[in-house]
Amino acid sequence: MTAQIVYKGDLRTEMTHVQSGSIVETDAPKDNHGKGERFSPTDLVATALGSCMLSIMGIAARTHEIDIVNTKIEIDKIMVADPLRRIGEIAVVFHLPSGKHYSDKEKTILEKAAMTCPVFLSLGENVKKTIHWNW
């Protein structure tokens, strides 16, 4: 078992990662009857994409001795309602650390790694993934 989830009422859930005991709470967004005081489930999907991309890049960076410490990502989740409410697009903007130089080969290694993350590959074609790199 990966996780246990409990509905806490008022459109909130509490998710427990079984292996570690780590807890994450969710709240429905303001535009969908919630308070927007925590990540929404769709926020977590979008955020999971960025986290996964960075994690797989980290594996490639370690393998090829490329320093990506302090790389940051901005995530923008765009919802659509055609005909049902869903994530229509996730925009990911990478900000590699300033002051570091990456060769074309290193950039290719890192970009290819990011695009092979399991979350990226699991999101269907109906979710547009827009990726921008700031080297």
CB atoms within 10 A of CB 94: 21
* Residues 66 and 101 grouped into a single domain: yes
pLDDT of residue 92: 98
- The percentage of residues in the chain with a pLDDT greater than 70, rounded to a whole number, is 100
The crossing angle, in degrees rounded to 10, of helices 104-114 and 41-63 is 140
Angle at 74 between CA 16 and CA 128, to 5 degrees: 85
* Residues 31 and 45 grouped into a single domain: no
pTM of the model: 0.93
> Which residues are paired to 106 by β-bridges?
none
Q: Encoding tokens for residue 82?
A: 């055609």
pLDDT of residue 120: 98
* Residues 27 and 48 grouped into a single domain: no
pLDDT of residue 131: 98
* Residues 10 and 54 grouped into a single domain: no
- The mean of the pLDDT values for the chain is 97
Q: Which amino acid is at 75?
A: I
* Residues 28 and 54 grouped into a single domain: no
The parent domain of residue 10 ranges over 1-39
Domain harbouring 74, CATH code: 3.30.300.20
Instruction: Tell me the per-residue pLDDT of 57-99, one tens digit each, with 9 for 90 and over.
Output: 999 999 999 999 999 999 999 999 988 999 999 999 999 999 9
Angle at 88 between CA 86 and CA 89, to 5 degrees: 135
* Residues 61 and 35 grouped into a single domain: no
* Residues 68 and 21 grouped into a single domain: no
pLDDT of residue 64: 98
Mean pLDDT on 21-43: 95
CA of residue 22 relative to chain centroid, distance: 18
User: DSSP for the chain?
Assistant: --EEEEEEETTEEEEEETTT--EEEEE--GGGTS---S--HHHHHHHHHHHHHHHHHHHHHHHTT---TT-EEEEEEEEEESSSEEEEEEEEEEEPPTT----HHHHHHHHHHHTT-HHHHHS-TTSEEEEEEE-
* Residues 72 and 60 grouped into a single domain: yes
Q: Encoding tokens for residue 25?
A: 């709470």
